[in-house]
Amino acid sequence: MHTAHLTIDPAFRVAPVRRRTFGTFVEHLGRCVYTGIYEPGHPKADEDGFRRDVLDLTRELGVSTVRYPGGNFVSGYRWEDGVGPRERRPRRLDLAWHSTETNEVGIDEFVRWCAKAGVEPMMAVNLGTRGIEAALDLLEYCNHPSGTALSDLRAANGAKEPHGIKMWCLGNEMDAPWQTGHKTPREYGRLAAETARAMRMVDPGLELVACGSSSSSMPAFGTWEAEVLEETYDVVDYISCHAYYEEKDGDLGSFLACATDMEYFISSVVATADHVGARLKSRKKINISFDEWNIWYLSRFQNAAPPVDWPIAPPLLEDHYHLADAVAFGGLLITLLRNSDRVTAASLAQLVNVIAPIMTEPGRRAWRQTTFHPFAQASSLAAGDVLRVEQVSPMYETAEYGEVPLLHAVATHDGEATTLFAINRSTDQPLSLRIDARALGGARIVEATTLTDSDVYARNTADDPDRIAPRPNPGIQHDTMTVVLPPVSWNVIRLA
Ligand code: AHR
């Protein structure tokens, strides 16, 4: 058994817990929208055709914001196709996913779904095939109260009240060669800046996100952020980060340490943004919207043939997550929380069926994937301030990241309750963790749960939906403030 200890002290404050850390993403991709959130013929569909079982699970997941409608999809999207009477909505080719888009769901339905789910919508505009005018039209349609062509059209379409969308992404992954209409950083930076300026003429209070690199491994990573921010610094609030991880070549040790790359990614983008700010002699800080993050077996997708015959809502990117995925995922969530001073919004990509914590069968059941649980626990229990923890942990060698601590942890503290989120990355040994909570005035452990299994590749399925779920941790020693974390585990320890 390994041993580690850590100190929790309210003085080690990083930033407030940001509710927007617990955002997700709904894209017109595969079965995320159709047979995901929307399936009119389903036995649990409500009067709008939304699946009640998915709405319930979304609320249980504790989602704050939902980014929409893409992703790669948005770079060819004409938002007007998705409003007005359904029978008049056109079908279009979706070049991003080689599918047919029926437009049965559009912006009005999505905002309606958000209200039912109790989440904040976050919108992306198309800067791939379109530009300033379409973005302004969409903004007027969504947010202007009434008395103009587009706001009155919204009312005529059944949404009298404005949608009031605050947060807007200026395109998606515009650096990426797979993006329809992708651009050089100067081309994109100019277009994003002019779009942002025009949108702010409508509403100066919008929160705008400029596209960062599609991943930290893109050839122009760093240069892209610097050049885009040189153009947009004064008119945007965020730069985006996107990162996906998967276990490669059976190297579980490296995979469990993937948050190391995310830490590097965040610190590099923060340094780049601050460097641009310094050169511009600006006091303003650009924060990060980590608006796509997850475990994604991207190599499987890249090796598969694209759909033929332009199907409607084909099953795409339907990864079935196992325990080790959930633990690596928990590590990423811990990293997002640890960086809450600069990562002030994030979106788990995505919500349903497409690399998602919620899975559905058309016409039948819905269930929680393994990754559902770290997200739901962190969203419901993280409160007050994020605290850095001072830890002493054994290290282990990884092929991808060198020496990495076995323990990866963060705490939150709201004056009364303190919660520690921790993963044990050891693939074969429990980790006995002693918690020094003297600065919390005699706080005791009140509960500890763990997400673990004897088989690190065990999954939840429709037939066995709760195989992997948080269970009480039997390894608590109250007198020594010690908890034993099983190998390959996600853990939540509550003190009061
Ligand atoms: O989330 C899946 C896809 O990953 C998104 O559409 C795109 O933005 C990214 O490349």
Nearest-angstrom CA–CA distance, 487 and 313:
39
Say yes or no to pLDDT of 121 above 90: yes
What's phi and psi for 143, nearest 5 deg? -110, -20
Dihedral Cα 258, 263, 264, 266, nearest 10 deg: 130
Contacts of 318 (CB under 8 A, 6+ apart): 30, 31, 353, 354, 355, 359
CB crowding 192-227: b at 16 or more within 10 Å, else e:
bbbbbebbeeeeeebbbbbbbbbbbebeebbebbbb
Q: Mean pLDDT score of the chain, rounded to an integer?
A: 97
Nearest-angstrom CA–CA distance, 262 and 216:
9
**Please, are residues 375 and 328 in contact by the beta-carbon 8 Å criterion?**
no
The sign of the torsion formed by the CA atoms of 51, 56, 61, 67 equals positive
Say yes or no to pLDDT of 416 above 90: no
Contacts of 8 (CB under 8 A, 6+ apart): 387, 389, 411, 413, 418, 420, 435, 436, 437, 439, 440, 495
Q: How far is the CA of 449 from the centre of ligand 1 (A)?
A: 33
Nearest-angstrom CA–CA distance, 64 and 22:
5
Query: What's CA 459's distance to the chain center, in Å?
Result: 21
**Please, are residues 70 and 169 in contact by the beta-carbon 8 Å criterion?**
no
Predicted confidence at residue 158, as pLDDT, reads 97
In the chain, ranges of CATH 2.60.40.1180 domains: 2-9+387-495
Say yes or no to pLDDT of 426 above 90: yes
The amino acid occupying position 213 is: S
Ligand 1 cavity residues, CB under 6 Å = 27, 29, 70-72, 172-173, 214, 292, 349-350
Q: Express each pLDDT in 358-373 by its tens digit.
A: 999 999 999 999 999 9
Catalytic residue among 39, 80, 225, 292: 292
Query: What's CA 300's distance to the chain center, in Å?
Result: 21
Minimum-distance ligand 1 atom for the alpha carbon of 242: 9
What's phi and psi for 81, nearest 5 deg? -60, -25
Q: How far is the CA of 487 from the centre of ligand 1 (A)?
A: 32
In three-state form (DSSP H/G/I as H, E/B as E, the rest C), the secondary structure along 448-459 is: EEEECCCCCCCE
Residue nearest atom 1 in ligand 1 by C-alpha distance: 349
**For residues 236-242, average pLDDT:** 98
**Please, are residues 394 and 2 in contact by the beta-carbon 8 Å criterion?**
yes
Residue nearest atom 7 in ligand 1 by C-alpha distance: 71
Residue with tokens 């209070």: 205
Minimum-distance ligand 1 atom for the alpha carbon of 292: 1
Q: Express each pLDDT in 278-317 by its tens digit.
A: 999 999 999 999 999 999 999 888 888 888 899 999 999 9
Q: How far is the CA of 439 from the centre of ligand 1 (A)?
A: 43
**For residues 5-25, average pLDDT:** 98
In the chain, ranges of CATH 3.20.20.80 domains: 18-381
Predicted confidence at residue 343, as pLDDT, reads 98
CB atoms near residue 125 (< 10 Å)? 27
Say yes or no to pLDDT of 125 above 90: yes
Q: Express each pLDDT in 437-494 by its tens digit.
A: 999 998 999 999 999 999 999 999 999 999 999 999 999 999 999 999 999 999 999 9
Q: Express each pLDDT in 368-390 by its tens digit.
A: 999 999 999 999 999 999 999 99
Predicted confidence at residue 307, as pLDDT, reads 86
Contacts of 298 (CB under 8 A, 6+ apart): 244, 246
Predicted confidence at residue 189, as pLDDT, reads 98
Nearest-angstrom CA–CA distance, 31 and 43:
17
Q: Classify 2-9+387-495 by CATH class.
A: mainly beta
Residue nearest atom 3 in ligand 1 by C-alpha distance: 71
Predicted confidence at residue 306, as pLDDT, reads 83
Catalytic residue among 101, 109, 173, 231: 173
- Residue 344 carries which DSSP code? E
Residue nearest atom 9 in ligand 1 by C-alpha distance: 71
Q: Express each pLDDT in 147-188 by its tens digit.
A: 999 999 999 999 999 999 999 999 999 999 999 999 999 999
The CATH number given to 18-381 is 3.20.20.80
Distance in Å from the first CA to the final CA of the chain: 27
Our answer to whether residue 173 is catalytic in this structure is: yes
Our answer to whether residue 207 is catalytic in this structure is: no
**Please, are residues 473 and 426 in contact by the beta-carbon 8 Å criterion?**
no
- Assessment of whether the complete model's pTM goes beyond 0.95: yes
**Which CA distances in Å does 220 have to 213, 243, 314?**
8, 15, 33
Our mutation pick for probing the ligand 1 site, out of 292, 293, 316, 347, counting the most ligand atoms within 8 A of Cβ, is: 292
Residue nearest atom 8 in ligand 1 by C-alpha distance: 71
Nearest partner of 424 among 293, 256, 251, 248, judged by Cα: 256
Say yes or no to pLDDT of 86 above 90: yes
